[in-house]
Amino acid sequence: MKKALVLGASGGMGYALVLELVSQGIDVIAFSRNKDKLDALYQNKPEVTIVSGDALVEKQVIDASEGVDIIFHAVSFSYQEWSEKHPLCVENIIKAAEIHHAKIALVDNIYAYGRQLGMDVNEDTRKNPHTKKGKIRLAMEERLKSSGVPSLIAHMPDIYGPNAENTILHETLKSVVLNKTANFVGNPKVAREFIYTLDGAKAMVELALRRDTYNQNWNIPSAYPIAGVELIEIIRKESGYTKSIRTVSKTMIRFIGLFQPLLREMVELMYLAEEPVILSGKKYEAKIGAVPRTPYNEGIENTLEWMRKRG
């Protein structure tokens, strides 16, 4: 790979992918609608070409893809827009890849797996999504596989890290940085996964650099499943935060969601806070080697430092 396009480069995983690709000596086109944010993130990186555009506009995606070997799909939309925008975005990316003979690497989550009993969900586990969002993610995966374009799909748990703002854990950390009363979404006694974005990006780029990893699904797990109470203690230790952290339950989100559409859309995903999907990294380990696993204390410290510097 000599050149890559990262769609959604202004987001958390997009930012991490750009940094990892640059560290591997690969030229990158960073694509997003938010030109000001792209400039703030990459204007001092000569290996990065900034392109402001809309992934929902076919011509803009096709033009941005010229000369690239791989298109990384890290575009996110508000939950309310998923059914309308995700299918169109995938079609535009497939069209661009076909025209320019590029490969596709999709940043995916765990929603398509649906409810899973037990630990170590692997790539052969039957996907049976019971939520609207899980069905959309599965449809995206199936469309890529049916397109004939070489593609790889990387499943990751909830993310956190520098620039990862539209995430559950960011809702806690942003209040910690401001020294305000913070919220923790979900049951704090249940162990679940949060992956550091730079770990996910490193693993994904390693997969993308190989020829024999395409037309497959890959699970990229976190450092280890961690209970909220343990995570909160790490946050307190790394930040010196002493205020209370409230637990936000499904019932609370359902009530608040009566007035806020975004939270209303979160309700169907709250099962993951009670019945977490824990990914197995055995396939990755057998093919590539050790999965990148930054300890939570280090990842949280780096994330908080990044947030403080950005104000």
Q: Which CATH architecture is the domain 3-162+194-224+277-294 placed in?
A: 3-Layer(aba) Sandwich (3.40)
Report yes or no: 72 and 39 within 8 Å, Cβ to Cβ. Answer: no
Local confidence band at 250 (pLDDT 50, 70, 90 cut-offs) = confident
pLDDT exceeds 50 at position 258: no
Which residues partner with 194 through β-bridges? 158
Distances 171 to 176, 177, 181, 245, 257 between C-alpha atoms, Å: 9, 11, 11, 11, 16
Q: Is pLDDT larger for residue 302 or for residue 273?
A: 302
pLDDT at 134: 97
246: alpha, beta or left? (left if phi > 0; alpha if psi -120 to 50)? beta
Mean pLDDT over the full length of the chain? 94
pLDDT of amino acid 256: 64
Q: 173: closest CA among 269, 77, 41, 306? A: 306
Task: Provide the percentage of residues in the chain whose pLDDT is more than 90.
Answer: 86
Query: At residue 250, what is the residue type?
Result: K
Rounded Cα–Cα distance for residues 90 and 295 (Å)? 34
Query: Which pLDDT belongs to residue 261?
Result: 58
Q: Decide if pLDDT at 53 tops 90.
A: yes
**Own/partner pairs, 233-238, CB within 8 angstroms, 24+ separation:** 234/296, 234/297, 234/300, 235/172, 235/173, 235/176, 235/300, 235/304, 237/297, 238/297, 238/300, 238/301, 238/304
Q: Residue 161: pLDDT band by 50, 70, 90 thresholds? A: very high
Q: Which residue has the higher pLDDT, 263 or 253?
A: 253
**Is a pLDDT exceeding 90 seen at residue 267?**
no
Longest pairwise C-alpha distance within the chain: 55
Each residue's pLDDT tens digit, 2-41? 999 999 999 999 999 999 999 999 999 999 999 999 999 9
Residue ranges, CATH 3.40.50.720, the chain: 3-162+194-224+277-294
Closest alpha carbon to 28 in 50, 43, 52, 57: 50
pLDDT surpassing 80 at residue 265: no
What are the tens digits of pLDDT across the range 94-151?
Answer: 999 999 999 999 999 999 999 997 678 999 999 999 999 999 999 999 999 999 999 9
Highest mean pLDDT of the ranges 43-47, 186-190, 286-290: 286-290
Bridge partners of residue 158, in order along the sequence: 194
> Dihedral angle at the C-alpha atoms of 192, 137, 103, 63, nearest 10 degrees?
-120
Q: pLDDT > 70: what percent of the chain?
A: 96
Mean pLDDT of 28-57: 96
